[in-house]
Structure 1
Amino acid sequence: MGGMDNLLDLKSSETNRGYWDINWSLPGGQDRYQLIKGDDYSVVHSSNESIEVSFRSTYDPSTSGIRLPLSIDLRYILRAGVSGFYCYAIYELPPGCRAFDVAQTRMVFKLRQERFHYMAISDEKQRVMPMPEDLLQNRGKKLIVPESVLLVNPINPHLKGEVDDNHEFRNGGPTKQNLTVHTGPACLAMFHGTHYIGEDIMAHFKDGETWRKVFAPSSGCWRRQHGRMILSHHPITLLLKNAVQFQGDCWSKTGLFSSSLVPAKYGYVGLSVATTEGSWQTESKGYQFWVQTDLNGNFTIKNVIPGAYGLHGWVPGFIGDYLDNARITVSSETTWQFDLCSIRDGPTVWEIGFPDRTTIGFYVPDVNPMYANKLFLNSPEKFRQYGLWDRYTDLNPKSDQVFTIGVSDPKKDWFFAHVDSSINLYALTRETTFYRRGEANKYLPTQWEIKFNLDSVTSGIYKLRLAMASATRADLKVHINDMDVKHLVFQVQNLGMDTQFVDMEFMDCTGFTALIFLRLCWLRGTTPYFSHRPGEEMQFVESSMIILG
């Protein structure tokens, strides 16, 4: 292509410029890194239109020693007239194998630096890439996050002052982000990875378990456009043998005191082997098939591999995940209707934001010009900019955020992530004024206040719901009306091992988070939801406040 007989980086060794690899471990053991190599070569198919070749390694459970207990078949397909190739891999766990865990597996191609300077991730995400040398000490400055480098003296002067960053994804579900290209230039496919969520998404295999999964297919495509060699890498969909179609309609129940159903427009419906509500977000061993419903709640999922699945779903604007009570066996074209019941327990008194697993309903600040990445300057994904956690301190230099229901606007007044603040501490007493900038620049917890008035107070129980996107070893406390022990109604410590915020990613999970959606409901029940002593209720008055810290 373009007079080149090899697109891979000639400066790298043959084993380090194009490879598949895997990180695995024995239960409780140390991480083991291994390159995946094929011992046996064969031609699977050959014609004038295409050729498919196989490189297979076979595992024998009777072999002594500690080896990766997987048989792996790497496949490559070349098609006439296509300036690229297709590739996929078949991972198989034969009977009689020991237990083990998989943390990551991927495919990587390192391309020639002198030819590939431009990346195309999507129609909206395209740009000139920095050079590998730009990440070295004399040309780049490492920031708080090791993967983020401020380009102070790049080879291409037009990139000076930008931040070269890394973006990862969660394995499961329709909202995952795919890491496909990065500075190098490197073209890769992350088929399974724990960045940045931890062991919850690790694939665990038991003693004697059997398993088979096809990873990908994906395509590597390199082309010339306007004098540029463009690097792109795209997952593709091939027509699957014996695949079937699954279709139906989805409805949402509006609330506790209404039995009416409304079409679940633009909701997400998926088939997954996950067996609990929301667990599709961390399920990685099986296949998942997802689609978004139309305006009337109708959906069709094509190319479903026959098997038994759980029917999962969620709808923007409704907190929570849906899982049908019955397992669905898909063996032929199947039609299904199901109702999504909102977990709204009563009339909504107030709410902040819109629970759609994005930052759209909250305030996302402009990036500090010092750390700007031009790729996201005019993008709806401006939350991906580096260092936005420090913008909270810039916007609230002397006191924390106060949000007044009916007065404040979430899109202007509710910071999209509940972050620590950079505060200079002097003598610490009750009368001390906290200055947010100074010599120490320590990060301390922040306390956000929500003030609200009730026209009248109805006797009963009120429920506060928090829907969160991610959390990193966070402590959360909720107080009502005062910051003393008596008014502490809820607390949880060391939430999550997720570093998504630091890495500018907000994807799918609605477990515990920094990205918070709040809703206050009045219940006609008798059991208190928040209580610092069993059976003791928290009382609201006409003018109340909730403090989050």
Structure 2
Amino acid sequence: MPTEMDLKTGQHLGYKEAVLITNSSNPQLRGEVDDKYQYSCDNKDNRVHGWISSKSNPQIGFWVIMPSDEFRAGGPVKQDLTSHASSTSLAIFFSVHYAGADFGVRLRNGERWNKVFGPVFMYLNSDLDSTSIWEDAKRQAAQETKSWPYDFPLSQDFPHSNQRGEVTGRLFVNDRTITAAISAYVGLAQPGDAGSWQTNSKGYQFWSRSDKRGHFSIKGVREGIYNLYAWVPGVIGDYKHYADIIVRPGSKVGMGNIMYTPPRNGPTLWEIGIPDRTATEFYVPDPDSHLVNRLYVNHTEKYRQYGLWDRYTDLYPNQDLIYTVGVSDYRRDWFFAHVNRHVNTSYVPTTWQIVFNTSDVIRRGRYTLRIALASANMAEIQVRINKFKGVRPHFSTGLIGKDNAIARHGIHGLYRLYSVTISGSQLVEGTNTIYLRQSRPASPFIGTMYDYIRLEAPPQPSSNPNISNACTSINTTCVFNACWISDSLLFNVLLIYIFHSLLHCIQY
């Protein structure tokens, strides 16, 4: 990595943290861009980072090891900084990075607040070669994670393992058929709305991943009152269990079988992307040849390169992106970020088009457009149907987001999901166009990243899709609004609809 002097003598780019190295004592770094945000990662992936002193003999490693995420803010996919030039290693508990200025702890009216940050493990090791040092650091990180929670802290505010509880259960997804929630993120956090864990920084969070059968186990949970939250890769939306979860020292809370019914009004007509809360699957261009960080050449995280926002203008100098359903491929034809175009000395709004064909339009039906955003920064997305000029937007998000993930090379920030109702009378037989306009100008860093877009047909008039289709994949008998499921793998689950939309799963 560059030295502090390399950063001081280099050419500063679009913001002060980004520097083009021009006069380094290390010839391999000359002509390379360095920016501390290029080394960010999700909390869930940030177990160990640090430095190796290659000039000493033997070489020496210095490492920051985070054995747990329970005290970190924003959940498992909140991004933050790690180590960066000049020999800086960070142990961050919460910050506004990739979340926005509103993220953080705010106390009012004499509110009392207590939270334990850490312990964090600082590890030094040495060996003759850097590879051995790095492998040893990873082994130590795995050992510290396994040892959590530590037994040595004497503070009464840090409960030991025998003073903590465990929450277990099995999560299913009911999206026209019932399936196990594979690799779902299932967590406990302070009570709030579905998805509120993204911006929660006051309380502790405890997360786990479900297995291929939907089973999950959340261990080492502090005593307290929580909500159980979840989201499932490949499925839109957020799950929140309807009841508070009370964890006491030494308790084991069995949730049994629980069901997440994601938003859906009708069958999918078309979709763009993969609902995984990132824009990873979309087209990420190569950087400008003069603004390269060679670490990310031929790398799975090429979105960490500097200046990719201006590559949109290079690829679409005069006309904005047009995506034709059934012809275009989102992996090469959908730019990873909806940003402004650079024109002369300013940045102007851009309008993307989704072109698709429909037949047998249900004129009196209500179609649903689902727009899931992986990031937003001072942006506004306006939706228009078949007419663009001279018409008011059919829908607008309003001004949203401050996560700044575009400038900071993050492929996601905070997740948002919008559901837009489209009357069948607005569609035509044959070719239709949905216009997506990012209407806020002035900066290269204003914009959004899409996670996933889907158009749904109107609900099937003959039956409730959640009931009839949920009962087709397993041996069932349907009576009114209940499905009696007689399958040994599901432990005779009784599914009951409550308030017409919330499907609860009760084990008996």
User: Does TM-score exceed 0.5, indicating one fold?
Assistant: yes
Map 1:195-206; keep pairs closer than 5 Å: 195-206=97-108
Query: How far apart in 1 are the matches of 2:378 and 2:166?
Result: 42
Question: Are 2:376 and 2:413, in contact at CA under 8 Å, matched by a contact in 1?
Answer: no
Q: Does 1:414 align with 2:372?
A: no
Measured in 2, the distance between the counterparts of 1:216 and 1:540 equals: 59
Which residue of structure 2 aligns with residue 252 of structure 1? 173
Q: CA deviation at 1:507?
A: 3.8
Q: Report the equivalent of 2:405.
A: 500
Partners of 1:218 and 1:321 in 2: CA distance: 31
Are residue 474 (structure 1) and residue 379 (structure 2) matched?
yes
Quick one: distance in 2 between partners of 1:227 and 1:192? 34
State the SS of the aligned residue for 1:399: coil
Residue 269 (structure 1) shift? 0.3
Question: 1:35-62: CA deviations, max 9, x gaps?
Answer: xxxxxxxxxxxxxxxxxxxxxxxxxxxx
Amino acid in structure 1 at the alignment position of 2:124 = W
Q: Distance in 2 between the 1:287 and 1:244 partners?
A: 14
Deviates further, 309-318 or 299-308: 299-308
Task: Tell me what 1:148 maps to.
Answer: 18
Q: Counterpart of 1:216?
A: 118
Residue equivalent to 2:254:
335
Deviation track 1:1-22 (CA, whole Å, cap 9, x = no partner) reads xxxxxxxxxxxxxxxxxxxxxx
Seen in structure 2, the aligned counterparts of structure 1 residues 178 and 475 have a Cα distance that, compared at 3 Å, is closer
- Are the structure 2 counterparts of residues 140 and 274 from structure 1 closer, same or farther at C-alpha, using a change threshold of 3 Å? farther
Distance 1:365 1:412 in 2: 9
- Specify whether residues 487 and 180 from structure 1 end up closer, same or farther in structure 2 by C-alpha distance, changes over 3 A only: closer
Q: Which has the larger radius of gyration?
A: 1
Q: Quote the residue 1:293 is aligned against.
A: 210
- Of Structure 1 and Structure 2, the greater helix share is in 2
Structure 1 residue 490: Cα displacement:
1.3
Paired AA for residue 251 in structure 1 = F
RMSD between aligned residues: 2.4
- Structure 2 residue 77 is the aligned partner of structure 1 residue 175: yes
Name the CA distance, whole Å, in 1 between partners of 2:371 and 2:86. Answer: 41
* Shift, 1:345, TM fit: 1.5
What CA deviation, in whole Å up to 9, does each residue of 1:479-516 have, x standing for no partner? 1112134363112432222211111113452127xxxx
Matches of 2:12 and 2:166 in 1, distance apart?
Answer: 49
Higher relative contact order (CA 8 A, sep 6+): 2
Residues 457 and 542, structure 1, Cα contact 8 Å, conserved in 2? no
- 1:275 corresponds in structure 2 to 192
1:386-413 deviations in Å (ceiling 9; x for gaps): 1111111111222111100000000010
Structure-1 residue corresponding to 2:415: 510
Task: Output the amino acid matched with 2:278.
Answer: T
Partner of 1:323: 240
Percent identity among equivalent residues? 40
2:57 alignment partner in structure 1: none
User: In the alignment, is the contact (CA less than 8 A) between 2:366 and 2:422 conserved in 1?
Assistant: no
Give the distance between the partners of 1:335 and 1:298, measured in 2 at CA: 11
Contact 1:363 1:410 in 2 (8 A): yes
Asked whether the equivalents of residues 490 and 530 of structure 1 are also in contact (C-alpha less than 8 Å), the reply is no
Aligned to 1:401: 321
Measure the CA separation in 2 of the matches of 1:323 and 1:508.
20
CA distance in 1, matches of 2:16, 2:260: 42
Cα deviation digits, residues 146-182 of structure 1 (max 9, x gap): 2111111212111112211122578311112342211
Q: Which residue of 2 aligns with 1:529?
A: 421
- Residue 6 of structure 2 aligns to a residue in which SS? helix
CA distance in 2, matches of 1:491, 1:285: 31
Q: Distance in 1 between matches of 2:75 and 2:311?
A: 31
Contact 2:99-2:404 at 8 Å conserved across structures? yes
CA contact (8 A) 2:171 2:259 kept: yes
Cα deviation per residue 1:87-108 (whole Å; 9 max; x = unaligned)? xxxxxxxxxxxxxxxxxxxxxx
Paired residue for 1:26?
A: none
Instruction: Report deviation, 1:355.
Output: 1.1
Task: Note the 1:60-209 alignment, pairs <5 A.
Answer: 129-136=1-8, 139-167=9-37, 171-209=73-111
1:538 to 423, 426, 430: 426
Matched residue SS, 1:370: coil
Alignment-derived partner of residue 53 in structure 2: none
CA distance in 2, matches of 1:507, 1:216: 26
CA positional deviation for 1:133: 0.3
Cα distance between partner residues in 1 of 2:185 and 2:123: 30
Q: Compared with structure 1, are the counterparts of its residues 297 and 479 closer, same or farther at alpha carbon in structure 2 (3 Å cutoff)?
A: same
The count of residues paired between Structure 1 and Structure 2 equals 382
Post-superposition offset of 1:458:
2.2
Unaligned runs of 5+ in 1: 1-128, 424-439, 513-517, 520-527
